[in-house]
Amino acid sequence: MTANKCLRLYGAVLVSAALGGCAANVTMEPPKIPAPLIEKMPVAVGLRIPEEFEHYVHEESVLGREDWTIDLGSSNAALFTQLFGYMFEEVEVLGPDDDASTFDIDALIEPSIDAFEFSVPKQSKTDAFAVWIRYRLKVYDRDGDVVANWPVSAYGKSQSTAMASSDALRRAAVLAMRDAAAVMILKLDAETGISGMGDAVGDTAAVPAVAPAPAGGEQTEVQTTALEGANDDAG
Amino acid sequence: MQVDRRRIIGPGATVALAAVALSGCITSRVENSREGITGIGDGESVVIMARSYHLGNETEDKYINCVEDALARGSRGLRVIPHREFIDSLFPWFEPRTAPAETKGLPKLMQRPGVAEKIAGSGVRYIIWLDGDTERVAGGGSLSCAAGPGGGGCFGFAWWQNDADYNAAVWDLKGLESAGNVSADVSGTSFLPALVVPIPLIARARAAACRGLADQLRSFIVDDSEA
Protein backbone atom coordinates (compact mmCIF):
# COMPACT_ATOMS: atom_id res chain seq x y z
CA MET A 1 0.00 0.00 0.00
CA THR A 2 1.41 3.41 -0.98
CA ALA A 3 1.74 6.25 1.51
CA ASN A 4 -0.98 8.15 -0.33
CA LYS A 5 -3.44 5.29 -0.05
CA CYS A 6 -2.54 4.87 3.59
CA LEU A 7 -3.23 8.55 4.27
CA ARG A 8 -6.56 8.40 2.44
CA LEU A 9 -7.66 5.35 4.44
CA TYR A 10 -6.59 7.01 7.71
CA GLY A 11 -8.52 10.14 6.74
CA ALA A 12 -11.63 8.17 5.88
CA VAL A 13 -11.52 6.38 9.22
CA LEU A 14 -11.15 9.70 11.07
CA VAL A 15 -14.02 11.33 9.16
CA SER A 16 -16.37 8.41 9.68
CA ALA A 17 -15.48 8.29 13.37
CA ALA A 18 -16.18 12.01 13.67
CA LEU A 19 -19.50 11.73 11.82
CA GLY A 20 -20.47 8.70 13.86
CA GLY A 21 -20.05 10.75 17.03
CA CYS A 22 -22.39 13.51 15.72
CA ALA A 23 -25.42 11.49 14.71
CA ALA A 24 -27.53 9.01 16.58
CA ASN A 25 -30.36 6.89 15.28
CA VAL A 26 -32.78 5.30 17.69
CA THR A 27 -35.38 2.79 16.59
CA MET A 28 -38.26 1.99 18.91
CA GLU A 29 -39.61 -1.48 19.47
CA PRO A 30 -43.37 -1.65 20.05
CA PRO A 31 -43.87 -1.02 23.80
CA LYS A 32 -45.54 -3.57 26.00
CA ILE A 33 -48.18 -1.93 28.18
CA PRO A 34 -48.94 -3.99 31.30
CA ALA A 35 -52.54 -5.10 31.75
CA PRO A 36 -54.10 -2.30 33.81
CA LEU A 37 -56.07 -2.99 36.98
CA ILE A 38 -59.34 -1.53 35.70
CA GLU A 39 -62.77 -2.72 34.65
CA LYS A 40 -63.49 -2.68 30.93
CA MET A 41 -66.09 -0.26 29.64
CA PRO A 42 -68.98 -2.06 27.91
CA VAL A 43 -68.53 -0.13 24.69
CA ALA A 44 -67.62 -1.32 21.20
CA VAL A 45 -65.12 1.15 19.76
CA GLY A 46 -63.46 1.48 16.43
CA LEU A 47 -59.82 2.54 16.56
CA ARG A 48 -58.65 4.20 13.38
CA ILE A 49 -54.88 3.92 13.15
CA PRO A 50 -53.56 6.80 11.03
CA GLU A 51 -50.83 6.17 8.49
CA GLU A 52 -48.25 8.17 10.49
CA PHE A 53 -48.63 5.75 13.42
CA GLU A 54 -47.08 2.98 11.38
CA HIS A 55 -43.86 4.86 10.73
CA TYR A 56 -43.32 8.07 12.70
CA VAL A 57 -39.81 9.53 12.50
CA HIS A 58 -38.66 12.56 14.45
CA GLU A 59 -35.37 14.34 13.77
CA GLU A 60 -33.70 16.90 15.95
CA SER A 61 -30.47 18.87 15.79
CA VAL A 62 -28.97 19.67 19.15
CA LEU A 63 -27.23 23.06 19.13
CA GLY A 64 -25.81 22.28 15.72
CA ARG A 65 -23.51 19.65 17.19
CA GLU A 66 -25.56 16.47 17.19
CA ASP A 67 -28.28 15.06 15.00
CA TRP A 68 -30.73 12.70 16.62
CA THR A 69 -33.28 10.63 14.77
CA ILE A 70 -35.88 8.58 16.57
CA ASP A 71 -37.95 6.15 14.55
CA LEU A 72 -41.08 5.28 16.52
CA GLY A 73 -42.01 2.67 13.94
CA SER A 74 -45.31 1.09 14.81
CA SER A 75 -44.97 1.72 18.54
CA ASN A 76 -47.86 4.23 18.61
CA ALA A 77 -50.16 1.78 16.86
CA ALA A 78 -49.12 -0.91 19.36
CA LEU A 79 -49.73 1.44 22.30
CA PHE A 80 -53.29 2.35 21.31
CA THR A 81 -54.25 -1.14 20.19
CA GLN A 82 -53.10 -2.68 23.48
CA LEU A 83 -54.50 0.08 25.66
CA PHE A 84 -57.98 0.19 24.13
CA GLY A 85 -58.05 -3.60 24.13
CA TYR A 86 -57.68 -3.37 27.91
CA MET A 87 -60.15 -0.49 28.30
CA PHE A 88 -63.11 -1.55 26.14
CA GLU A 89 -65.15 -4.71 25.75
CA GLU A 90 -64.75 -4.68 21.96
CA VAL A 91 -62.20 -2.97 19.75
CA GLU A 92 -62.18 -2.98 15.95
CA VAL A 93 -58.94 -1.73 14.47
CA LEU A 94 -59.62 0.28 11.31
CA GLY A 95 -57.15 1.25 8.63
CA PRO A 96 -56.83 4.84 7.38
CA ASP A 97 -59.22 4.24 4.48
CA ASP A 98 -61.80 1.97 6.14
CA ASP A 99 -65.41 3.17 6.21
CA ALA A 100 -66.38 3.27 9.90
CA SER A 101 -70.13 3.16 9.10
CA THR A 102 -69.78 -0.43 7.91
CA PHE A 103 -68.65 -1.59 11.38
CA ASP A 104 -70.96 -2.37 14.28
CA ILE A 105 -69.42 0.06 16.78
CA ASP A 106 -70.67 2.58 19.34
CA ALA A 107 -67.89 5.11 18.86
CA LEU A 108 -64.90 5.76 16.68
CA ILE A 109 -61.61 7.01 18.15
CA GLU A 110 -59.00 8.64 15.92
CA PRO A 111 -55.68 9.27 17.66
CA SER A 112 -52.97 11.45 16.13
CA ILE A 113 -49.70 13.02 17.21
CA ASP A 114 -49.79 16.81 17.69
CA ALA A 115 -46.19 17.11 18.83
CA PHE A 116 -43.18 15.05 19.73
CA GLU A 117 -40.10 16.52 21.41
CA PHE A 118 -37.14 15.29 23.33
CA SER A 119 -34.14 16.67 25.14
CA VAL A 120 -30.71 15.13 25.59
CA PRO A 121 -28.34 15.65 28.53
CA LYS A 122 -26.33 18.34 26.71
CA GLN A 123 -29.46 20.48 26.40
CA SER A 124 -30.87 19.94 29.87
CA LYS A 125 -27.46 19.95 31.64
CA THR A 126 -28.54 16.83 33.52
CA ASP A 127 -27.91 13.11 33.09
CA ALA A 128 -31.40 12.59 31.76
CA PHE A 129 -33.12 12.12 28.43
CA ALA A 130 -36.69 13.43 28.39
CA VAL A 131 -39.49 12.86 25.90
CA TRP A 132 -42.72 14.82 25.52
CA ILE A 133 -45.56 13.56 23.35
CA ARG A 134 -48.85 15.29 22.73
CA TYR A 135 -51.50 13.03 21.26
CA ARG A 136 -54.92 14.17 20.13
CA LEU A 137 -57.96 11.93 20.37
CA LYS A 138 -61.00 12.66 18.25
CA VAL A 139 -64.07 10.72 19.28
CA TYR A 140 -67.00 10.29 16.89
CA ASP A 141 -70.44 8.95 17.73
CA ARG A 142 -72.41 6.42 15.72
CA ASP A 143 -73.67 9.15 13.39
CA GLY A 144 -70.15 10.29 12.60
CA ASP A 145 -70.36 13.52 14.62
CA VAL A 146 -67.34 14.65 16.62
CA VAL A 147 -68.20 14.41 20.32
CA ALA A 148 -64.74 15.11 21.74
CA ASN A 149 -61.41 16.50 20.63
CA TRP A 150 -59.01 15.90 23.48
CA PRO A 151 -55.26 16.61 23.69
CA VAL A 152 -53.25 14.22 25.86
CA SER A 153 -49.84 15.39 27.02
CA ALA A 154 -47.33 12.86 28.29
CA TYR A 155 -43.81 12.97 29.64
CA GLY A 156 -41.08 10.41 30.24
CA LYS A 157 -37.58 10.73 31.62
CA SER A 158 -34.68 8.31 31.87
CA GLN A 159 -31.14 8.73 33.10
CA SER A 160 -28.28 8.06 30.74
CA THR A 161 -25.68 6.99 33.24
CA ALA A 162 -26.67 3.37 33.60
CA MET A 163 -27.12 2.60 29.91
CA ALA A 164 -26.18 3.65 26.41
CA SER A 165 -27.66 6.95 25.20
CA SER A 166 -29.93 5.29 22.67
CA ASP A 167 -31.30 2.94 25.34
CA ALA A 168 -31.98 5.87 27.66
CA LEU A 169 -33.86 7.78 24.95
CA ARG A 170 -35.82 4.66 24.05
CA ARG A 171 -36.71 4.14 27.72
CA ALA A 172 -37.80 7.79 28.07
CA ALA A 173 -40.09 7.37 25.04
CA VAL A 174 -41.60 4.19 26.50
CA LEU A 175 -42.18 5.99 29.81
CA ALA A 176 -43.90 8.84 27.96
CA MET A 177 -46.17 6.33 26.22
CA ARG A 178 -46.97 4.69 29.56
CA ASP A 179 -47.70 8.14 30.95
CA ALA A 180 -50.10 8.77 28.07
CA ALA A 181 -51.74 5.41 28.76
CA ALA A 182 -52.17 6.35 32.43
CA VAL A 183 -53.75 9.69 31.50
CA MET A 184 -56.18 8.02 29.11
CA ILE A 185 -57.16 5.40 31.68
CA LEU A 186 -57.77 8.09 34.26
CA LYS A 187 -59.47 10.74 32.16
CA LEU A 188 -60.73 9.44 28.82
CA ASP A 189 -64.25 8.86 30.08
CA ALA A 190 -64.45 12.14 31.97
CA GLU A 191 -63.21 14.07 28.94
CA THR A 192 -65.28 12.30 26.27
CA GLY A 193 -68.21 10.61 28.05
CA ILE A 194 -67.48 7.52 26.00
CA SER A 195 -68.80 5.04 28.57
CA GLY A 196 -72.29 6.43 27.94
CA MET A 197 -72.15 5.62 24.24
CA GLY A 198 -72.34 1.86 24.63
CA ASP A 199 -75.27 0.10 22.97
CA ALA A 200 -73.53 -2.46 20.85
CA VAL A 201 -72.30 -4.54 23.79
CA GLY A 202 -75.14 -6.16 25.71
CA ASP A 203 -77.72 -4.25 27.75
CA THR A 204 -75.58 -3.54 30.82
CA ALA A 205 -75.39 0.02 32.04
CA ALA A 206 -72.20 1.78 31.09
CA VAL A 207 -69.44 1.52 33.67
CA PRO A 208 -66.49 3.89 33.42
CA ALA A 209 -63.01 2.32 33.65
CA VAL A 210 -62.18 4.62 36.52
CA ALA A 211 -64.84 5.89 38.89
CA PRO A 212 -65.38 9.65 38.45
CA ALA A 213 -64.17 12.00 41.15
CA PRO A 214 -66.65 12.96 43.86
CA ALA A 215 -68.42 16.29 43.64
CA GLY A 216 -65.80 17.87 45.85
CA GLY A 217 -63.11 16.81 43.39
CA GLU A 218 -60.64 15.78 46.07
CA GLN A 219 -57.12 15.13 44.79
CA THR A 220 -56.81 11.90 46.74
CA GLU A 221 -59.22 10.24 44.32
CA VAL A 222 -56.53 9.47 41.79
CA GLN A 223 -53.44 10.30 43.80
CA THR A 224 -52.61 13.13 41.45
CA THR A 225 -49.23 14.74 41.28
CA ALA A 226 -48.68 18.45 41.06
CA LEU A 227 -48.19 18.51 37.28
CA GLU A 228 -51.08 16.38 36.18
CA GLY A 229 -53.53 19.16 35.59
CA ALA A 230 -50.99 21.37 33.88
CA ASN A 231 -49.90 18.63 31.50
CA ASP A 232 -53.36 17.78 30.36
CA ASP A 233 -54.45 21.31 29.81
CA ALA A 234 -51.54 22.02 27.51
CA GLY A 235 -52.24 22.49 23.88
CA MET B 1 0.98 -29.48 54.66
CA GLN B 2 2.44 -26.15 55.64
CA VAL B 3 0.94 -23.09 54.05
CA ASP B 4 2.88 -19.92 53.61
CA ARG B 5 0.42 -17.47 55.17
CA ARG B 6 2.36 -14.47 54.02
CA ARG B 7 1.58 -15.44 50.44
CA ILE B 8 -2.16 -15.60 51.13
CA ILE B 9 -2.50 -12.64 53.45
CA GLY B 10 0.04 -10.48 51.63
CA PRO B 11 -1.86 -9.61 48.43
CA GLY B 12 -5.21 -9.27 50.23
CA ALA B 13 -3.79 -6.99 52.88
CA THR B 14 -2.02 -4.95 50.24
CA VAL B 15 -5.24 -4.48 48.28
CA ALA B 16 -7.16 -3.56 51.43
CA LEU B 17 -4.50 -1.10 52.55
CA ALA B 18 -4.34 0.40 49.08
CA ALA B 19 -8.12 0.76 49.00
CA VAL B 20 -8.10 2.58 52.35
CA ALA B 21 -5.12 4.70 51.41
CA LEU B 22 -6.48 5.53 47.97
CA SER B 23 -9.95 6.65 49.00
CA GLY B 24 -10.96 10.25 49.56
CA CYS B 25 -12.55 11.78 52.65
CA ILE B 26 -16.13 10.97 53.56
CA THR B 27 -18.36 12.37 56.27
CA SER B 28 -21.80 10.94 56.74
CA ARG B 29 -24.88 11.40 58.88
CA VAL B 30 -27.74 8.90 58.93
CA GLU B 31 -30.86 9.64 60.94
CA ASN B 32 -34.36 8.35 61.36
CA SER B 33 -37.61 9.61 62.74
CA ARG B 34 -40.22 7.10 63.76
CA GLU B 35 -43.97 7.64 63.54
CA GLY B 36 -45.23 4.12 64.19
CA ILE B 37 -44.28 0.65 65.35
CA THR B 38 -42.63 -1.46 62.66
CA GLY B 39 -41.75 -5.12 62.21
CA ILE B 40 -41.84 -7.58 59.37
CA GLY B 41 -43.14 -11.13 59.31
CA ASP B 42 -42.23 -14.23 57.31
CA GLY B 43 -43.36 -13.88 53.74
CA GLU B 44 -43.64 -10.11 53.97
CA SER B 45 -41.55 -7.95 51.71
CA VAL B 46 -40.61 -4.38 50.90
CA VAL B 47 -40.43 -2.43 47.66
CA ILE B 48 -38.12 0.51 47.01
CA MET B 49 -39.49 3.24 44.74
CA ALA B 50 -38.36 6.66 43.57
CA ARG B 51 -40.56 9.66 44.21
CA SER B 52 -42.06 10.91 40.97
CA TYR B 53 -39.94 12.91 38.56
CA HIS B 54 -43.11 14.90 37.92
CA LEU B 55 -42.38 16.40 41.34
CA GLY B 56 -38.80 17.25 40.40
CA ASN B 57 -37.18 14.26 42.05
CA GLU B 58 -33.91 13.12 40.46
CA THR B 59 -33.15 9.90 42.36
CA GLU B 60 -30.95 7.76 40.16
CA ASP B 61 -31.98 4.23 39.07
CA LYS B 62 -28.50 3.16 40.08
CA TYR B 63 -29.13 4.29 43.65
CA ILE B 64 -32.47 2.49 43.88
CA ASN B 65 -30.87 -0.73 42.62
CA CYS B 66 -28.05 -0.31 45.12
CA VAL B 67 -30.46 0.08 48.07
CA GLU B 68 -32.49 -2.90 46.84
CA ASP B 69 -29.36 -5.07 46.71
CA ALA B 70 -28.03 -3.84 50.03
CA LEU B 71 -31.34 -4.46 51.83
CA ALA B 72 -31.67 -7.95 50.42
CA ARG B 73 -28.06 -8.99 51.11
CA GLY B 74 -26.83 -11.04 54.05
CA SER B 75 -28.39 -13.30 56.64
CA ARG B 76 -30.57 -10.44 57.93
CA GLY B 77 -31.57 -9.47 54.41
CA LEU B 78 -35.16 -8.47 53.73
CA ARG B 79 -37.29 -9.83 50.92
CA VAL B 80 -37.23 -7.06 48.31
CA ILE B 81 -39.60 -6.96 45.35
CA PRO B 82 -37.95 -5.32 42.31
CA HIS B 83 -39.60 -1.93 41.81
CA ARG B 84 -40.28 -2.32 38.09
CA GLU B 85 -42.03 -5.65 38.67
CA PHE B 86 -44.19 -4.03 41.36
CA ILE B 87 -45.05 -1.02 39.18
CA ASP B 88 -45.98 -3.23 36.22
CA SER B 89 -48.15 -5.50 38.32
CA LEU B 90 -50.14 -2.50 39.60
CA PHE B 91 -50.31 -0.52 36.35
CA PRO B 92 -51.32 2.32 36.14
CA TRP B 93 -51.52 3.14 39.85
CA PHE B 94 -47.80 3.56 40.60
CA GLU B 95 -46.74 5.42 37.46
CA PRO B 96 -44.86 8.69 38.08
CA ARG B 97 -48.06 10.64 37.41
CA THR B 98 -50.49 8.51 39.38
CA ALA B 99 -48.52 7.18 42.36
CA PRO B 100 -49.92 8.37 45.68
CA ALA B 101 -48.06 11.37 47.00
CA GLU B 102 -49.30 10.97 50.58
CA THR B 103 -50.50 8.12 52.77
CA LYS B 104 -54.00 9.60 52.84
CA GLY B 105 -54.35 8.43 49.22
CA LEU B 106 -53.80 4.78 50.23
CA PRO B 107 -57.33 3.83 51.36
CA LYS B 108 -58.82 4.98 48.04
CA LEU B 109 -56.05 3.22 46.12
CA MET B 110 -56.72 -0.05 47.95
CA GLN B 111 -60.39 0.12 46.93
CA ARG B 112 -59.56 0.08 43.24
CA PRO B 113 -60.29 -3.19 41.47
CA GLY B 114 -57.57 -5.77 42.06
CA VAL B 115 -55.11 -3.47 43.86
CA ALA B 116 -55.44 -4.85 47.40
CA GLU B 117 -55.34 -8.42 46.06
CA LYS B 118 -52.18 -7.77 44.01
CA ILE B 119 -50.42 -6.16 46.96
CA ALA B 120 -51.48 -8.97 49.30
CA GLY B 121 -50.33 -11.54 46.75
CA SER B 122 -46.88 -10.01 46.47
CA GLY B 123 -46.54 -9.82 50.25
CA VAL B 124 -45.46 -6.19 50.17
CA ARG B 125 -45.75 -4.76 53.68
CA TYR B 126 -43.70 -1.58 53.25
CA ILE B 127 -43.25 0.85 50.39
CA ILE B 128 -40.06 2.85 50.77
CA TRP B 129 -40.11 6.09 48.76
CA LEU B 130 -36.71 7.51 47.98
CA ASP B 131 -35.97 11.04 47.01
CA GLY B 132 -32.75 12.99 46.71
CA ASP B 133 -29.67 12.71 44.55
CA THR B 134 -25.90 13.03 44.40
CA GLU B 135 -24.51 16.35 43.20
CA ARG B 136 -21.09 17.83 42.67
CA VAL B 137 -21.10 20.88 44.90
CA ALA B 138 -17.50 22.10 44.64
CA GLY B 139 -14.27 21.42 42.85
CA GLY B 140 -10.98 23.02 41.92
CA GLY B 141 -7.32 22.61 41.05
CA SER B 142 -5.83 22.04 37.68
CA LEU B 143 -4.39 19.05 35.92
CA SER B 144 -2.76 18.84 32.52
CA CYS B 145 -1.63 15.86 30.55
CA ALA B 146 0.61 15.63 27.49
CA ALA B 147 1.76 12.83 25.26
CA GLY B 148 4.52 12.62 22.68
CA PRO B 149 6.49 10.05 20.74
CA GLY B 150 8.69 9.41 23.77
CA GLY B 151 5.80 8.90 26.18
CA GLY B 152 3.35 10.97 28.17
CA GLY B 153 2.41 12.11 31.61
CA CYS B 154 0.23 14.33 33.77
CA PHE B 155 1.04 17.01 36.26
CA GLY B 156 -1.14 18.91 38.68
CA PHE B 157 -3.77 18.46 41.34
CA ALA B 158 -7.56 18.42 41.13
CA TRP B 159 -10.25 17.90 43.74
CA TRP B 160 -14.02 17.80 43.86
CA GLN B 161 -16.74 17.36 46.44
CA ASN B 162 -19.92 15.32 45.96
CA ASP B 163 -22.89 15.54 48.31
CA ALA B 164 -25.30 12.62 48.44
CA ASP B 165 -28.54 13.55 50.20
CA TYR B 166 -31.30 10.97 50.25
CA ASN B 167 -34.49 10.55 52.21
CA ALA B 168 -36.55 7.39 52.55
CA ALA B 169 -40.20 7.64 53.58
CA VAL B 170 -41.47 4.30 54.89
CA TRP B 171 -45.16 3.55 54.36
CA ASP B 172 -46.77 0.64 56.17
CA LEU B 173 -49.39 -0.94 53.91
CA LYS B 174 -50.83 -2.94 56.81
CA GLY B 175 -51.98 0.14 58.69
CA LEU B 176 -52.05 2.35 55.57
CA GLU B 177 -49.95 4.90 57.42
CA SER B 178 -46.49 6.38 57.51
CA ALA B 179 -44.02 4.48 59.68
CA GLY B 180 -41.38 7.20 59.56
CA ASN B 181 -38.40 8.53 57.66
CA VAL B 182 -34.74 7.61 57.31
CA SER B 183 -32.24 10.02 55.80
CA ALA B 184 -28.61 9.81 54.74
CA ASP B 185 -26.47 12.88 54.18
CA VAL B 186 -22.99 12.00 52.92
CA SER B 187 -20.30 14.36 51.74
CA GLY B 188 -17.23 13.03 49.96
CA THR B 189 -14.15 14.88 48.75
CA SER B 190 -12.05 13.22 46.07
CA PHE B 191 -8.48 14.13 45.12
CA LEU B 192 -6.49 13.56 41.98
CA PRO B 193 -2.80 14.36 42.39
CA ALA B 194 -0.64 13.68 39.36
CA LEU B 195 3.12 13.56 39.08
CA VAL B 196 3.55 11.84 35.72
CA VAL B 197 0.99 9.22 36.79
CA PRO B 198 -2.39 10.42 38.18
CA ILE B 199 -3.35 8.77 41.46
CA PRO B 200 -7.12 8.97 42.00
CA LEU B 201 -8.26 9.13 45.63
CA ILE B 202 -11.99 8.72 45.10
CA ALA B 203 -14.63 9.30 47.78
CA ARG B 204 -17.69 7.30 46.79
CA ALA B 205 -20.38 9.41 48.42
CA ARG B 206 -23.33 7.74 46.68
CA ALA B 207 -22.14 4.24 47.57
CA ALA B 208 -21.64 5.30 51.19
CA ALA B 209 -25.11 6.86 51.27
CA CYS B 210 -26.54 3.64 49.85
CA ARG B 211 -24.90 1.43 52.49
CA GLY B 212 -25.75 3.81 55.32
CA LEU B 213 -29.38 4.21 54.31
CA ALA B 214 -29.89 0.47 53.71
CA ASP B 215 -28.39 -0.48 57.10
CA GLN B 216 -30.52 2.09 58.87
CA LEU B 217 -33.65 1.05 56.98
CA ARG B 218 -33.11 -2.59 57.94
CA SER B 219 -32.76 -1.64 61.59
CA PHE B 220 -35.75 0.69 61.34
CA ILE B 221 -38.01 -2.01 59.93
CA VAL B 222 -36.72 -5.16 61.63
CA ASP B 223 -35.19 -4.25 64.96
CA ASP B 224 -38.26 -2.61 66.39
CA SER B 225 -40.07 -5.94 66.31
CA GLU B 226 -37.11 -7.76 67.87
CA ALA B 227 -36.76 -5.32 70.77
Interface of A with B (CB under 8 A): 33-39, 126-128, 155, 157, 159, 161-162, 175, 178-179, 181-183, 185-186, 220-228, 231
The rounded distance, in Å, linking the Cα atoms of A115 and A151 is 10
Q: Do B58 and A182 touch (CB under 8 A)?
A: no
Q: How far apart, in Å, are the Cα atoms of B43 and each of A72, A112, B125, B179, B219?
A: 42, 46, 9, 19, 18
pLDDT in tens, A53-71: 888 888 887 766 678 888 8
Q: DSSP for chain A?
A: --HHHHHHHHHHHHHHHHHHHHEEEEEPPPP-PPPPSSPPEEEEEEEE--GGGGSEEEEEEETTTEEEEEEEETHHHHHHHHHHHHHEEEEEEE-TT--GGGS--SEEEEEEEEEEEEE-HHHHTSSEEEEEEEEEEEEE-TTS-EEEEEEEEEEEEEESTTS-HHHHHHHHHHHHHHHHHHHHHHHHHHHH-GGGG--SS-SPPP--SSPPPPTT--GGGTT--TTHHHHHH--
ipTM of model: 0.80
Contacting residues of B for A178, CB less than 8 Å apart: 91-92, 95
Contacting residues of A for B102, CB less than 8 Å apart: 220
Contacting residues of B for A175, CB less than 8 Å apart: 96
Question: What is the structure's pLDDT at B5?
Answer: 44
Per-residue pLDDT of chain B (227 residues; tens, 9 = 90+): 444 444 444 454 554 545 555 577 999 999 999 998 899 998 999 999 999 888 777 888 889 999 999 999 988 899 999 999 999 999 999 999 999 999 999 999 999 999 999 999 999 999 999 999 999 999 999 999 999 888 899 999 999 999 999 999 999 999 999 999 999 999 999 999 999 999 999 999 999 999 999 999 999 999 655 44
Question: What is the structure's pLDDT at B32?
Answer: 92
Question: What is the structure's pLDDT at A61?
Answer: 79
CATH of domain A21-232: 3.30.160.150
Angle at B47 between CA A229 and CA B59, to 5 degrees: 55
Q: DSSP for B123-189?
A: TEEEEEEEEEEEEEEEEEEEEEEEEETTEEEEEEEEEEEEEEEEEEEEEETTTTEEEEEEEEEEEEE
Q: Which amino acid is at B170?
A: V
Question: What is the structure's pLDDT at B215?
Answer: 94
Question: What is the structure's pLDDT at B144?
Answer: 93
Q: Do B92 and A178 touch (CB under 8 A)?
A: yes
The rounded distance, in Å, linking the Cα atoms of B100 and A218 is 13
pLDDT in tens, A102-121: 999 999 999 999 999 988 88
Beta bridge partners of B166: B132, B184
Beta pairing, strands A41-48 & A107-119: parallel
- Does B18 touch chain A if contact means CB atoms closer than 8 Å? no
Could you give the 3-state DSSP secondary structure of residue B23?
A: strand
Reported pTM: 0.79
Beta pairing, strands A66-73 & A88-94: unpaired
Positions of chain A with pLDDT under 50: 1-3, 6-7, 9-20, 203-207, 212-235
Q: How far is A98 from chain B (nearest CA, A)?
A: 32
The rounded distance, in Å, linking the Cα atoms of B186 and A68 is 37
Q: How far is A10 from chain B (nearest CA, A)?
A: 19
Domain ranges of chain B: 12-226
Domain ranges of chain A: 21-232
Question: What is the structure's pLDDT at B59?
Answer: 86
Q: How far apart, in Å, are the Cα atoms of A21 and each of A16, A57, A117, A191?
A: 9, 20, 21, 45
